[in-house]
Amino acid sequence: MKNKLCFVVGTRPEIIKLGPVYNFFKKKKKFHISSYFTYQHTEIGQDVIEHFKFKIQKKKARIIKKIDLNEKMSLITNDLKNYLIKNKVDGIFVLGDTLTAIVASIVAFNLKIKILYVESGLRTYDHLEPWPEEGYRRIISSIADYHFCPTVTNKKNLLNENISDKKICVSGNPAIDAIHNEIKKYKKNYELKLVNKIKKRGYVVNKKNLILITIHRRENFGLRFENICRTIKYLANIYKDFEFVITVHPNPYVQNTLRKHLKNIKNIFLIKPLFYPEFIYLLKKM
C-alpha cells in the first residue's frame, strides 16, 4: 500500500519553496501525493499554485484576511482535520513558520499523523523577532517527526534542543532549487512575456540600475516601517541614476504607509505584487 503524503500550504513562500519537493515526490511511485491549500493568502496564492503544478482540493476560498490570527487558526483547523481524516493521510509536509504550518502541525500531531518539516532549525531565540514566526517554528520543531534543514547551523540548533540526530537531514533550501528551475526556462520569447507582464504591474524594464525592494514584516509596522520608508526616500534622492522598484504587499498598512512616504518620487516605483517568475526575472536584472 502506498504511503499517503499531503503537502499543506497557505502562502506564496510555502508554495514556492515546497514546489520542487512536491514535484519530486509526485514522480515516486511508492507515494500517493496530495496537497491542501488553507487559503491563508487568497490573493497571492493561486498564481504560484498553478505555476508549480499543485493539484489542490476542490474547495471554495474563504475570505479570511480581515480576521485575527486566532480566528484564522480556528477556520483552518476544522477543514484541514476533516480533509486529513477523510483521505487517511499518513504524513504531512509543512514548511517554515507560517500560521498554516503551525496549525497543520498541531492538527496532524493530534491525529497521530507524521510531520515532515522542511526549513527546520531556523532560530533567532527571540520570540518577538520575527513575530509570530519564531514561536511557531520552535513549537513545530518540538512535535515534528522528521526535520529537513537548509544548513548545518540549523541542524546544530535542533541538536542543542535535544532533537535526535536520526530525525534530522541537512537538505539545503528548496527555494534555491526553484530559482534554478525558473532560470532554466529563459529564452527570448519567455523573457519578453515576463517584461510585458511586469509592465502591467507598473514598471517598464530597461537598462538602468535597479534596486528591487519588498517590505511587509509585521514586527516592522510602526516607527520601524516609517524609518525604512524615509531611508529609501533618502537613498533615492542621492542615487538618482538608480530605479527603486517596490512590490506593494496587499496588507492595507503596507499600502497606505508606502504611498504616504514614497508616492510621486521620480525614481521610485510602487508596483503591484509580482508573479514569482516576474520577481525572479527582476532579481536577475539587478
pLDDT per residue as tens digits for the range 101-138: 999 999 999 999 999 999 999 999 999 888 899 999 99
Give how many domains the chain has, as a whole number: 2
Shared domain check, 225 and 155:
no
Residue-wise pLDDT for 198-240, tens only, equals 999 999 998 889 999 999 887 889 999 999 999 999 999 999 9
**Average pLDDT, integer, range 30-43:** 85
Based on the domain organization, do 172 and 204 belong to the same domain?
no
Grid cell in block for residue 12: 506564496
State the sign of the Cα–Cα–Cα–Cα dihedral 126, 130, 133, 137. negative
Same domain for 254 and 190: yes
Q: What is the pLDDT of residue 189?
A: 87
Residues 92 and 37 in one domain: yes
What is the amino acid identity at position 236? Answer: A
> Are both 23 and 73 inside the same structural domain?
yes
**pLDDT tens string 139-162:** 999 999 999 999 999 999 999 999
pLDDT of residue 285: 85
CATH number (domain holding residue 165): 3.40.50.2000
Enclosing domain of residue 248: 185-285
Residue 34 reports pLDDT greater than 90 = yes
Shared-domain flag, residues 13 and 105: yes
End-to-end CA distance of the chain: 49
The confidence score (pLDDT) of residue 53 equals 82
Q: For residue 77, what pLDDT is reported?
A: 93
Final residue in a domain of this structure, among 139, 159, 176: 176
Return the active site residues. 97, 119, 133, 216, 218, 249
pLDDT computed for residue 147 by the predictor: 98
- Same domain for 161 and 198, yes or no, is no
Confidence of residue 185 (pLDDT cuts 50, 70, 90): confident
Please report, as a single letter, which amino acid is at residue 160.
Answer: N
Residue 58, pLDDT score: 54
Distance, CA of 190 to CA of 29 (rounded, Å): 32
Task: List C-alpha distances in Å: 256 to 183, 200, 202, 212, 250.
Answer: 34, 21, 17, 19, 10
- Asked if 50 and 138 sit in the same domain, the reply is yes
Query: Containing H/E element for 75?
Result: helix 69-86
**Between 140 and 48, the higher pLDDT residue:** 140
Q: Are residues 63 and 145 in the same domain?
A: yes
pLDDT of res. 94: 98
Cα gap 130→19, rounded to integer Å: 24
Last residue of some domain: 151, 176, 201? 176
Domain identity same for 22 and 133 = yes
Assigned C-alpha cell, 92: 504531512
Question: Is the predicted pLDDT of residue 42 greater than 80, yes or no?
Answer: no
- By DSSP bridging, strand 31-37 and strand 209-214 are unpaired
Q: What's the pLDDT at 230?
A: 96
* Mean predicted lDDT score pLDDT of the chain: 90
| Same domain flag for 108 and 41 | yes
pLDDT (0 to 100) of residue 249:
87
Residues 61 and 158 in one domain: yes
Q: Domain boundary at 176, 206, 240, which?
A: 176
